[in-house]
């Protein structure tokens, strides 16, 4: 595993570049950053980059996606790891509370778990932070009046939308389906629930892998978009009846429930790629005989040997994270930036740096063996 982490860290080229800068500028000197994001090799690269900027880190993972080797690697480098892998919601809740009760100066949140708890037990000194996901933005938006802190939503950067949600989630969900099931996609009827940025990528990648793809989307405009992109757009129940594989990626609760079990073909496979397992009623559907992958937890992060999204996409997203936390730490954004997208100047900087690194590195012969 250490080989894999080293491989990831070496290929997070943007994070390595910003880390060299943070060694000098130390924007987080004297500050503690609390994190509640999946702990796996790419987040290791992010957390160690923040540490290079002078931060103390207190970190826990997310439900059912924490990798023990990543925790051990970070703990060995001075990061305070709270808890470890768990699929027990009550245990995970206690881990999140422990991070919050350490009263960090900045929070790097994923799903709104840390900021929502910070409201229940506020402390002086919390400057603000970042939120990674669509689901977290939806949870924190109604709390703006109470939060009154700069909180930058990484998901709402156009870079995250196209680099991670569309391209990378689509690729990693396809990769995870094939790795977990060892089944082909050719000629399979695949139904994708949700045609947002993630759903577009999932639908496109399965089509590119020779599946016959249908999209179920509750927004009529996006349903039209799916149709014009060349996908089938049957009514919901018909889409479930015809599917060999069903994938939800909406961020919404109760998208497919146990009451839908009679609609499934014998042998049909169901997976969720949305942030929260609540999209599908995994236990009820499994009891009714539907094959549910990874217990309804994110299929690209929770299965055996999970790889998650590609290194390059996460390098981009995590560099946005580091730059946004830097902006909150040095006061260049204030409480008027409460649950708002990444500032355009940060998007421009990260995009230009990536293009320069890739173009500048085209003729480099640097290489190492894959883990």
Ligand X SMILES: NC(=O)c1ccc[n+]([C@@H]2O[C@H](COP(=O)([O-])OP(=O)(O)OC[C@H]3O[C@@H](n4cnc5c(N)ncnc54)[C@H](O)[C@@H]3O)[C@@H](O)[C@H]2O)c1
For ligand X, the binding residues (CB under 6 A) are 133-135, 164-165, 169, 193-199, 216-219, 222, 249-252, 255, 273-275, 298, 300, 309
Report the residue number whose CB is nearest to ligand X. 196
Going 313 to 314 to 316 to 320, the CA torsion angle's sign is positive
| Closest distance of CB 348 from ligand X, Å | 22
DSSP letter for 265, please: P
What CA dihedral angle connects 253, 165, 185 and 283, to 10 degrees? -20
DSSP letter for 304, please: S
Could you please report the per-residue DSSP string of 134-149?
HHHHHHHGGGHHHH-S
| Closest distance of CB 292 from ligand X, Å | 16
- C-beta separation of 134 from 155 below 8 A: yes
| Closest distance of CB 269 from ligand X, Å | 17
| Closest distance of CB 309 from ligand X, Å | 5
| Closest distance of CB 359 from ligand X, Å | 27
- Residue 192 or 322: the one with the smaller Cβ distance to ligand X is 192
Buried b (16+ CB within 10 A) or exposed e, 120-143: eeeeeebbbbbbbbbbbbbbbeeb
| Closest distance of CB 161 from ligand X, Å | 7
- Residue 128 or 170: the one with the smaller Cβ distance to ligand X is 170
Q: Which two tokens stand for residue 62?
A: 């997310």
Sheet containing strand 338-341, strands side by side: 80-81, 56-60, 32-36, 106-109, 128-131, 151-153, 338-341
């Amino acid at each position: 595993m250490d080989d894999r982490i080293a491989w990831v860290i070496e290929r997070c080229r943007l994070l390595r570049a910003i880390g060299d800068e943070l060694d000098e500028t130390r924007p987080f000197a004297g500050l503690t950053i609390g994190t509640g994001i999946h702990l796996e090799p790419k987040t290791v690269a992010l957390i160690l980059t923040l540490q290079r900027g002078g931060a103390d880190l207190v970190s826990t993972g997310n439900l059912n996606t924490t990798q023990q080797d990543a925790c051990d690697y970070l703990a060995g480098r001075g990061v305070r790891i709270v808890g470890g892998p768990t699929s027990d919601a009550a245990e995970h809740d206690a881990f999140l509370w422990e991070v919050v009760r350490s009263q960090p100066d900045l929070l790097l949140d994923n799903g709104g778990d840390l900021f929502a708890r910070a409201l229940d037990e506020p402390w002086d000194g919390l400057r603000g932070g970042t939120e990674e996901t669509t689901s977290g933005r939806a949870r924190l938006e109604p709390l703006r009046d109470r939060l009154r802190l700069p909180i930058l939503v990484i998901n709402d950067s156009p870079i995250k939308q196209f680099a991670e949600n569309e391209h990378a989630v689509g690729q990693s969900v396809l990769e995870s389906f094939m790795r977990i099931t060892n089944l082909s996609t050719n000629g399979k009827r695949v139904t994708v629930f949700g045609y947002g940025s993630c759903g577009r990528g999932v639908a496109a990648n399965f089509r590119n892998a020779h599946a016959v793809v249908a999209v179920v989307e509750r927004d009529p405009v996006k349903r039209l978009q799916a149709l014009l992109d060349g996908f089938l757009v049957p009514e919901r129940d018909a889409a479930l009846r015809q599917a060999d594989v069903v994938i939800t990626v909406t961020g919404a609760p109760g998208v497919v429930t146990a009451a839908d079990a009679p609609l499934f073909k014998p042998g049909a496979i169901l997976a969720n790629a949305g942030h929260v397992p609540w999209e599908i009623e995994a236990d009820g559907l499994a009891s009714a005989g539907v094959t549910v992958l990874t217990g309804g937890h994110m299929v690209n992060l929770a299965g055996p040997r999970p790889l998650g999204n590609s290194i390059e996409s996460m390098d981009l997203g995590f560099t946005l994270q580091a730059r946004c936390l830097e902006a909150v730490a040095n006061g260049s954004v204030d409480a008027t930036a409460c649950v708002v997208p990444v500032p355009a100047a940060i998007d421009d900087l990260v995009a230009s740096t990536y293009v320069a690194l890739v173009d500048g590195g085209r003729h480099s012969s640097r290489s190492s063996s894959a883990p």
